[in-house]
Amino acid sequence: MAFLQKEKLFTLKWFRDYSYITLGAFILAVGFVYFISPHKIVPGGVYGIAIVVHYLTQGLFSFWPDGIPIGLFGLILNIPLTIAGIKILGPRFGVKTVVGFVLSSVFMDLITYLREDGDAPLVPDVLLSCVFGGVLIGFALGLIFKSRATSGGSDIIAMIIAKYTGMQLGQLMIYVDSAIVLLGLAAFQDWQIPLYSWLVIYITGKAIDITLEGADYNKALFIISDKHEEIKEKLLIDLERGGTYLQGRGMFTGEDKQIIYTVVSRREVAILEQFISQIDPDAFITIMDTREILGEGFQSLKIKLDS
């Protein structure tokens, strides 16, 4: 979670970051209002708790006959959590994080208010709603994270617990969100709800990764072959790809080996495999998926950080 940073106002980066936050908050609200909350899905976080409270308080208040608004209750939870986080963890929560969860809450309740039936799902199919809702929420959070802001909420709870227990933050975030999911099970007494909720959490995580890192179609290869010179020529001349030689030694034979490390596209993997099978059928090749490639010939690290 980012520490507070002094940032110049009204610069191009300032406008870009707050545009990401505003757009992300709006898309997040759309995902919840149209796809998640109408089906009583509880995908962790403060808004998962707010969905439970919203449906449990229906008919309790004359001024909120449909229940406490989800955005409002999410905001009520986020404010003390952020204050507690600042006191216990230090000033790790910047203005952008506060703007993000305030806008998300406002958009959520505003969209609900403007709809004819605020709690009606856009589509009746729960599975379809989980998929589209998870993608929208993940994309929205990815935009917010791109601005160097955070989602706050249950993340702060996990960080506070981690400070006093020494447990891994990633595991604690899963535990906290799972506890909120089980809260939905206890409230609504329906086993389908936690199952759908965990599906939304999974899809959201994947959508966040794709938004932040992009859909990378490149593959990383380690190639061990006695014909490494021919493979090098194929890479440099035909495919116009670079690579790196690594020094290795066979564990069984003790012979020195030249290991080629390179990154190519999916199409080029097939071309390279066919070429190597012709010149050295005994070559050893390891092919790995890449999440993100930064550097010469690919996306510039500087451009990524500036975008």
Do 22 and 156 lie in one domain? The reply is yes
Strand order in the sheet with 256-265: 244-249, 256-265, 218-224, 284-289
- The residue type of 18 is Y
Paired tokens of 297: 């010939």
Judge whether 270 lies within some domain: yes
Judge whether 233 lies within some domain: yes
CA–CA separation, 174 and 123 (whole Å): 28
CB atoms within 10 A of CB 95: 12
What DSSP designation does 91 have? S
Asked if 108 and 51 count as a contact pair (C-beta separation under 8 A), the reply is no
Do 156 and 208 lie in one domain? The reply is yes
Do 155 and 241 lie in one domain? The reply is no
Asked if 42 and 183 count as a contact pair (C-beta separation under 8 A), the reply is yes
Do 112 and 159 lie in one domain? The reply is yes
Confidence at residue 201, expressed as pLDDT on a 0 to 100 scale: 93
Confidence at residue 169, expressed as pLDDT on a 0 to 100 scale: 67
Structural domain range at position 284: 218-306
Do 178 and 253 lie in one domain? The reply is no
Per-residue pLDDT in tens (0 to 9) along the chain, 307 residues? 444 445 677 788 889 889 999 999 999 999 999 999 999 999 989 999 999 999 999 989 888 988 999 999 999 999 998 888 888 877 666 788 889 899 999 999 999 999 888 788 899 999 999 999 999 999 999 898 888 777 667 777 887 888 888 777 667 888 888 999 999 999 999 999 999 999 999 999 889 888 877 666 688 999 999 999 999 999 999 888 889 999 998 888 888 999 999 998 888 888 899 999 999 999 999 998 877 666 665 555 565 556 5
Do 124 and 256 lie in one domain? The reply is no
What is the CATH classification number for the domain harbouring 284? 3.30.70.120
Confidence at residue 170, expressed as pLDDT on a 0 to 100 scale: 67
Confidence at residue 210, expressed as pLDDT on a 0 to 100 scale: 83
Cα angle 159-172-17, degrees, rounded to a multiple of 5: 55
CB atoms within 10 A of CB 91: 10
CA–CA separation, 258 and 238 (whole Å): 21
b/e code 100-121 from CB counts within 10 Å (16+ = b) = bbbbbbbbbbebbeeeeebbeb
Do 122 and 39 lie in one domain? The reply is yes
Do 185 and 269 lie in one domain? The reply is no
Do 18 and 104 lie in one domain? The reply is yes
Do 176 and 205 lie in one domain? The reply is yes
Last residue of a domain, one of 177, 192, 213: 213
Q: Which residues contact 177 (CB under 8 A, 6 or more apart)?
A: 43, 44, 45, 48, 154, 201
285 bridge partner residues: 223
92 bridge partner residues: none
Which DSSP helix (H) or strand (E) runs through 245? strand 244-249
Confidence at residue 267, expressed as pLDDT on a 0 to 100 scale: 82
Does this model's pTM top 0.95? no
Number of domains, the chain: 2
Which of 297, 298, 293, 7 has the alpha carbon at shortest distance from 148?
7
Confidence at residue 149, expressed as pLDDT on a 0 to 100 scale: 76
Judge whether 140 lies within some domain: yes
Do 225 and 208 lie in one domain? The reply is no
Last residue of a domain, one of 191, 213, 235: 213
List alpha helices for 42-191, DSSP H.
45-56, 70-89, 95-114, 126-146, 154-165, 169-188
